Amino acid sequence: MHPTPSPLTVLTEEESLLRDQVLAYARERLAPRVAEMDREGRIDRSLLPGLFELGVMGVEVPTELGGSGSSFMSAIVAVEALGTVDASLSVFVDVQNTLVNNAVLRWANEEQKRRYCPRLCSEWVGSYALSEAGSGSDAFALAARATRRGDRWILDGRKLWITNAGESSFFIVFANAAPERGYKGITAFLVERDFPGFTVGKKEDKLGIRASSTCELVLEGCEVPEGNVLGEVGMGYKIAIETLNEGRIGIGAQMVGIAQGSFDHAMRYVLERKQFGKAIAEHQGVEFQYARMAMEIEAARLMVYNAARLKDAGRSFVKEAAMAKLFASEVAERTASLALELFGGVGFTREYPAEKFYRDAKIGKIYEGTSNMQLVTIGKLLRTAYAG
């Protein structure tokens, strides 16, 4: 079940078809596996071929490179739809599209695109490796180093919190090739899992999105061919900033999906559960709560869709992306919390999905830029606009 979109959120025919296909996949193939994946802390790999067959692992990649040749908005619709059933698989698809494929399409040369895009659309999962122990919100304080040696680059360091790392065959890794130049030495490299000196390390045991792998990467003399520099040497800071701006819209979509999924489950429950002779949904105190929840979800969805449409139109969207990510993460947390309460005591058990949505929602305020960092971005852009 999903609500009929209001006039302002009507999708194109292509986007609606993709949403319906992804929802059908999520409900028929993903939903029966969600609880077990959450318990075991891993994605069921039997689900992955279906994602590639649907075309959602290469939504924006041109058809001549093996992708679906669709829009950024279509990728956002797919991420949201998966989020209504499982946040872990939602972020799995989100990272593949809004970070990895996005960066390759925008910054890779033609040879790199021909080499990697078809595999990313048909069999390979990708990861985006920027964060380190001392480099989180201060993304450019990274300590990983890149040293040129003949026709190769040698990478040394450690990366933390790398989404999809457990399943990935392909990594966009950021390291500093000229530390004396500060952030202007940061460079992005295309790294394959079997490159010498590259290891996927410890997997984090997390509160939510437990099935999504979040791992350490160990670079110990990792050998990367000279031809695997993404963009140009020293361009990594620009690639990172601009890619993450788009990635925030994807996280906003994931959060809208979480909010909608938890709301859908809560509505079914309050319509069935009776107290004092009638469904609890008919009690005005409850009615006011779910009416406000629905309003906030719709507002968050509009903000996310607006940012995605701006991006597709080639217009400025950084402020709108930050606002959408910030607001959608707050709505997801509030909705999941209240939905759990509407279940009453059973909501606090693992017999119902409410507690999982609640756990999954929390990460939205943290990854791909904390809420405070979104406020910093919004504030700076507003000052610039009003001062100009």
**Can you identify the CATH homologous superfamily of domain 238-383?**
Butyryl-CoA Dehydrogenase, subunit A, domain 3 (1.20.140.10)
CB 147: neighbour CB atoms within 10 A? 12
Q: What pLDDT sits at residue 126?
A: 98
pLDDT of residue 10: 76
Residues 244, 249: Cα–Cα separation, whole Å = 9
The model's pLDDT over 39-88, given as tens digits with 9 standing for 90+, comes to 999 999 999 999 999 999 999 999 999 999 999 999 999 999 999 999 99
Alpha carbon 113 to chain centroid distance?
A: 22
- Residue 320 DSSP one-character state: H
The residue with tokens 């960092």 is 373
Residue 221 confidence (pLDDT): 98
What average pLDDT does this structure show over 345-372? Answer: 97
Token pair 């709560």: residue: 289
Q: Residue 139 has what pLDDT?
A: 76
CB 79 within 8 A of CB 261: no
Task: Give the helix/strand (H/E) hosting 174.
Answer: strand 170-176
Judged against a pLDDT cut of 90, whether residue 34 lies above it is answered with yes
Q: How confident is the model at residue 136 (pLDDT cuts 50, 70, 90)?
A: confident
Q: What is the CA radius of gyration of the chain?
A: 21
Residue 388 pLDDT greater than 90, yes or no: no
Is residue 172 helix, strand or coil?
Answer: strand
Confidence of residue 6 (pLDDT cuts 50, 70, 90): low
pLDDT in tens, 252-286: 999 999 999 999 999 999 999 999 999 999 999 99
What six digits make up the tokens of 332? 């997801």
Beta-carbon contacts of 48 under 8 Å, excluding residues fewer than 6 positions away, are: 125, 167
Once rounded to an integer, what is the mean pLDDT over residues 6-15?
Answer: 76
CATH class for the region spanning 127-234: mainly beta
**For residue 5, is pLDDT > 60?**
no
* Poorest-pLDDT segment among 63-77, 83-97, 113-127, 129-143: 129-143
- CA dist 43 and 34 (Å) reads 9
Q: Are 322 and 378 in contact (CB under 8 A)?
A: yes
Residue 307 has pLDDT above 60, yes or no: yes
Rounded distance between C-alpha atoms, residue 315 and residue 298, angstroms? 23
Active site residue 368: yes
What percent of the chain shows pLDDT beyond 90?
A: 95
Judged against a pLDDT cut of 80, whether residue 113 lies above it is answered with yes
Structure tokens at 242: 């601009």
The pTM for the full model equals: 0.96
Per CATH, is 7-125 categorized as 1.10.540.10?
yes
Task: Please give the full DSSP string across 69-94, using - where no structure is assigned.
Answer: ---HHHHHHHHHHHHTT-HHHHHHHH
Q: Quote the distance between the C-alpha of residue 275 and its chain's center.
A: 40
Q: How many CB atoms lie within 10 A of CB 298?
A: 19
Specify the residue for token string 């609880």: 35
What's the chain's average pLDDT? Answer: 96
Looking at residues 12-41, what average pLDDT do you find?
97
Question: What pLDDT, on a 0 to 100 scale, did the predictor assign at position 8?
Answer: 52
Q: Is pLDDT above 60 for 4?
A: no
Domain ranges within the chain, ordered by starting residue: 7-125, 127-234, 238-383
What is the reported pLDDT for 140? Answer: 78
